[in-house]
Structures are given as C-alpha cells and as structure tokens.
Structure 1
C-alpha cells in the first residue's frame, strides 16, 4: 500500500467470507491473511460458526447482522445496512481505504464515501457481474460510476478483466490478481489412510470435484462420464465434498444412472482437511460451463481456485475451455482442457489420464511448479501491495 497509509487501517467489506465455503470467500480470507494484520479489518455477515473461524485468523473480523440470502429484498436490505455501517466507519474512524468485495452493495458505499469524505476504495470482481447486474440502464450507469471512480478494480482473471473493460470500465483501473494457494499447506503428500478407510477407497481410482453444487461446475457431466466408463474401469469412483442448489437433481441423476455405490456426496468438508482429499484422488475434474438457468444465465467460472489447489497437490486436472479456467489450467501442461458441454470429451480426457500414468504424473508435477512460481500467496499479495 502507499507509504502515506502504511500506519492506517483499511476496511475490507466481504459478504462472502468463512465460514461460507466458496472460492471467493477463500480469495478474500487469504488476501487479508497476507497483508499486515494491523492494516486491515474485515467486516462480514454474522452466521453460525463465525466465532471459531474468526478466532483462528491473524487479523480482526467484525461481524454485522447482515442478510446473507440471494433474494432481491435481502440484497437491497444488505446494501442499505452496508451504507449505514460504512457511514459510521467513515465518519468516526476515517479508514485509509475501503476494500469493496461486491460491486453493488459495498461498491455503492465506497463510491458514496469517496464523494463525501475523499476516502479511496478498491472493488473486487470475479465473474459475470455485468451479465447479472448490467441489464438495465440504471444499473449500468451505477456500475460505471462505481468502477470508474475506484482506485483500482481487482479482477481474478484476465477473462474477468476483459469482460469489465468491454462493459465500459476504464482499463487503467483494472488489475488482475489471481486467487492463490498456500503452497506449504497444499502440497503432494502420501494418501491419508484414515480418509481411504472412511470412504472405502482401497484399490479405487478416484475422481474429485471440490466446488459448490451449481450448474456451471459440471458435476452432472462427470456423473454421466462415470456411467460411460463404469464397465471399462470398474474401480472408478467419484467424490463430491460440497452442497448446493443442484444437490437434489444430482442425487437423482446418480440414482437413475445406477451409480449410487460409486458416487459419494460428502457434504461440507472441513477446509483444513481439503489437502488430504486432494491427495487421495487420481484426477481432479471440474468441467465448467456457462450457466443456462434463467436466474444466473450467462454466469461463467471466473477462475477456479480448486484447479490450482489440486495442482499444488501434484494432481492432473481436467477443465473446460470456458471462462477463467483457461488461465487456471494450461492445456497439455498442467492439465487437459476440453470443450464445454461434451460428456464424450470428458470421458476421453479421464480415459487418457488413467491409461497414461506418466502423462498424469507430468501434468501434476508441472501444476505444482506453476503454483510455486505463480500462485503462491506471498507472490500474489506482494503484487497487490505494489498496485495499491
């Protein structure tokens, strides 16, 4: 950060923050973890499990009674409360900077406090906000004002940055900061026997997807691919450690496909144990695609932090040529990229990695090297500090 602000605190407004489990929540918690603890304070919604999470963090987190739902009313109420709380912060504490984790709710607040008090603000963007929010002239004008009056717009991928430039954001405001991983925590390790025994993975070939059960993550594609490979690879199984809006549909698909003994829904898996899960899998696969459901139509994968976590653990990955996944995964170097929406392409990629262990090993090792040189958090946080 600027030297003039080096002894002043900044406020980081994060609607997505642990114990919420999402790539964005992980992104925010790690950005703050790698900035000096006396220079940042997080403000996030209060929910079950926050005391345990906050006590383990090296920086202060203040919890507010903000709504966490996705309804229009919840978002409107959240915006109003954020404006009020932020006004009090700006009046009485005068932070050096506001970090706005959402374009609309905290972004509106950031714009207002810059106009009223001259406090600079940074906006974080990470997907298809322009698709979801830029459909009316009012919203477009509001978003243009928020983005172009900011000190910086931090995008999690080049794809995301280009989308916002096309939307009308001045390119000089935008900087790409990739989500990173802790390379010491996510690293290749011997498969944990307790995990193998718990999930019955002895002598199994394991597919893994660590992602919310949303349409764009492509769990259904993996399930259908598993069915197509069932006779050819009888030891192949699939682990799904998450929950989400698609769970009922996916469970029904598993049942209808006769795969209930080969697909395990693990629910919310403890974040601290994720490296163990990556290290028992043979292939990490998330065939991401553009969402078609009406409420989120056009939504893309902004980056895909789980691809990088898997690579950090030395695992080959399969992704689709869609959204920011093309930056998280280098085709034929750290993983395999296939066309979105093609079950057959995913089958071919899985088959190729299972039949060519040397290729799988080479891709996994390259993924690990790339994490060490590009995606390790100390590297990324140093970039962020230089730009702010």
Structure 2
C-alpha cells in the first residue's frame, strides 16, 4: 500500500461513528504506511490529557492541528502538504469528503498520486444545497474516488457530481469487529450491576441528539409497559438531548422505567449492547433532508451481539437491517412512529424464539458481509 496521509476532523478520542470508522480502518492498515493529521478534540486540560494519552497508544503518528474544528483553510492546507512531503506520503484519504476534500488540488500538486474521499450522511445533505453542491462537485472532480456508505447516500450524492466522478464512486461502509461484538460480550454483568437481571430490556446505544429517536422510544414506552410492565428502556450514551429526554419521561410518567447510563467508554460498549433483549433506535430525518442517518453502524453492532433490531427509516439506516429477518424498519418521523415502534417492541419482547432467530440471522449476516477484514482490503486497493 502507498504511504497514506489521513486528513480528518473526525478522529478519537472525539466520540462518534465516523471517528470509530476511521480509527478501526487505520488500525488495520500497515502502521508504517499511515500518518494521521487531525483536529484537537478539546482544548481544556481533560481533553488535552485524553488526546495525548490516546495518541501515544497509536501504532502510527498522529499530528494534531491546534484547532478543534479542522477546516480546509490555507494554513491547514499548507500544513497537510508539508506533512505529505515530510513523511513521504503518496496517497491521501480524506476521512470525510466534505469539506476536507477541498484540499485535494494542493495535495495533488505536492505529490499525492492517489486521493480517496469518504462520504457520510452529511454529504448527502450538502448535495441538496446549491452552494454546498458546487463544492461537493469540485471535490468529486479533484479526487480519484469518492466512497459511499450505501445506496441511499450514493443516490443523493451522485447527481451532484460530474458524470465521470459519479462513475468513480465506490462503496466503502464501516465494518463490525465480530470478535468484539458477540453474544457473550458481558451483557449479563451490566444487567446485574443495574439491577435488571430479571427484567426485559430495550437498549439504545447512541449520541443523545434529536435525530436518533430516543424520544420516540420514550413515547412508545407506555404502550410497551401495558403489555410488558417490567420493561426497562436502557439509553446508553451522552449528548445535549438528555435533559429533554428526562423531562419527556417525567411528563409521560415513565421515568422509573428509563435508565440513562451517560457516556460509556469504547471498551465497555459491547457489554452494554449485550445488556439488552432488543436493540432499538428509531432514527428520523430532520431539517428537510439535511440531517439524516448515513448508515447506522450501531444496528450492525447489535446484530453481531445477537440482538434483533428496530431501526428508523432515516437515510441509509435501512441498509443496515434485513427487514423482517434481522429486525424491522419503522417510520421514524411520522406521528404514528411511537405506536409502530411500540408494536414491534411488544412483539419481540413477547417472543423469545423470534428474538433468537432474528439475532442469529443478524450475527450470520455481519460475519458474511460486514467484517472489517473484508472492508479494509477494499480500502487498501483504492489507495494502492
């Protein structure tokens, strides 16, 4: 593989799906052939310490920009080109095509022979806005390959590109570490620590933001409790929406049946997936189609853990579910969403055999289609 400079605003310890995707891919490449140029996560003492500790553990060099938001400014572009030359890199992987792919012409002039840019959900939103659409078109023309997560994102992004750039698009979704996410990942211990050993548990693992649909789960909970009175909704993750969700649970009188864990470290996530009987995240599309789910790797991590999933219909989320086989897709943005979500949850919580069969099918699908080793080989070929 060519020595590769990864240019990204999204890299751990900053949490998030894109960050986990890039880090997981980078760890599976030859560390002697990887250099990362990324933003700084936080400028406070805790953030600086966490970033320094994380970077020191990596098998490849991580160079941090002083800014907490890496943008293709002239200064950042000069530094990227300097790193390319200093480390002898001849390939560049932009962790998110927009906006970092705007650096591509300068990096090409500095000696990059291969430029690959990965698109996510937000590029699908860019493609709908005239000004951003023009920038996305420029990125497509300046890079060798734009990758896409699934058919939804490809269908939204490709019309914004030139025909030649659209023809060069290649699918590169995130993968799942099936050795980390598996049915014996430690869920029983988490349930015991939370006092949930003998109770049905619906688990949602995600950032707490409106698009993810945790509020739909809380609105569905009264109907679920009418059928399964001991059910607990376990909401795993942190984010700005927590206070609103807690107030909603209070207004609906279900606070006693909702548990918030707060942020959970990456190492403890598999066990928290395993603490559930069912995984649910009824995500929705917001802001007129600008805020959508790119894929929803959490559904696949839940499937690898052996859980049936209930997913929203936002963006590419349905690409991560075999509807009717590994779980169900529900309408995430409709007034009827809580009712439909509750119906699916009640069915699953009341049928252990259905949960088992869907969980087994999901685990097999991940092993067949979504393993990291299959996907990283594809990335190596694009960069070579």
So what's the TM-score if we normalise by structure 2?
0.90
CA distance, structure 2, for counterparts of residue 24 and residue 336 of structure 1: 24
Structure 1: stretches of 5+ with no match in the other structure: 69-74
Residue matched to 2:300: 308
Residue matched to 1:219: 214
Please state if 1:128 is matched with 2:122.
yes
- What is the correspondence of 1:47-62 to structure 2 with a 5 Å cutoff? 47=41, 48=47, 49-62=50-63
1:185–1:275: 8 Å Cα contact kept in structure 2? yes
Q: 2:90 aligns with which of 91, 96, 108?
A: 96
1:265–1:304: structure 2 CA closer, same or farther, 3 Å change rule?
Answer: same
How far apart are 1:154 and its partner, in Å?
A: 1.4
How far apart are 1:133 and its partner, in Å?
A: 6.8
Query: Match of 1:235, SS?
Result: coil
CA distance, structure 1, for counterparts of residue 73 and residue 151 of structure 2: 28
1:202–1:90: structure 2 CA closer, same or farther, 3 Å change rule?
Answer: closer
Query: Match of 1:303, SS?
Result: coil
- What is the correspondence of 1:1-388 to structure 2 with a 5 Å cutoff? 1=1, 5=2, 9-47=3-41, 48=47, 49-68=50-69, 79-115=73-109, 117=111, 119-132=113-126, 135-137=129-131, 139-169=132-162, 170-189=165-184, 191-292=186-287, 298-341=290-333, 342-388=337-383
How far apart are 1:153 and its partner, in Å?
A: 0.7
Q: Higher mean Cα deviation, 13-22 or 362-371?
A: 13-22
How far apart are 1:215 and its partner, in Å?
A: 1.6
CA deviation vs aligned residue, 1:79-107 (integer Å, no higher than 9, x gap): 34421311322444441111112334421
How far apart are 1:134 and its partner, in Å?
A: 5.5
How far apart are 1:166 and its partner, in Å?
A: 1.9
How far apart are 1:65 and its partner, in Å?
A: 1.2
How far apart are 1:272 and its partner, in Å?
A: 0.3
CA distance, structure 2, for counterparts of residue 370 and residue 350 of structure 1: 22
2:40–2:67: 8 Å Cα contact kept in structure 1? yes
CA deviation vs aligned residue, 1:302-355 (integer Å, no higher than 9, x gap): 100000000001110001233111111000111111222311110110011112
Q: Higher mean Cα deviation, 33-42 or 46-55?
A: 46-55
Query: Match of 1:340, SS?
Result: coil
Query: Match of 1:188, SS?
Result: coil
Q: Higher mean Cα deviation, 344-353 or 91-100?
A: 91-100
CA distance, structure 2, for counterparts of residue 318 and residue 130 of structure 1: 23
CA distance, structure 2, for counterparts of residue 229 and residue 301 of structure 1: 25
Query: Match of 1:261, SS?
Result: helix
CA RMSD, 1 decimal = 2.0
CA distance, structure 2, for counterparts of residue 81 and residue 312 of structure 1: 43
How far apart are 1:162 and its partner, in Å?
A: 1.7
CA distance, structure 2, for counterparts of residue 286 and residue 55 of structure 1: 34
Q: Higher mean Cα deviation, 42-51 or 16-25?
A: 42-51
2:187–2:273: 8 Å Cα contact kept in structure 1? no
How far apart are 1:140 and its partner, in Å?
A: 2.9
Alignment coverage as a number of residue pairs: 371
Query: Match of 1:238, SS?
Result: strand
CA distance, structure 2, for counterparts of residue 21 and residue 327 of structure 1: 23
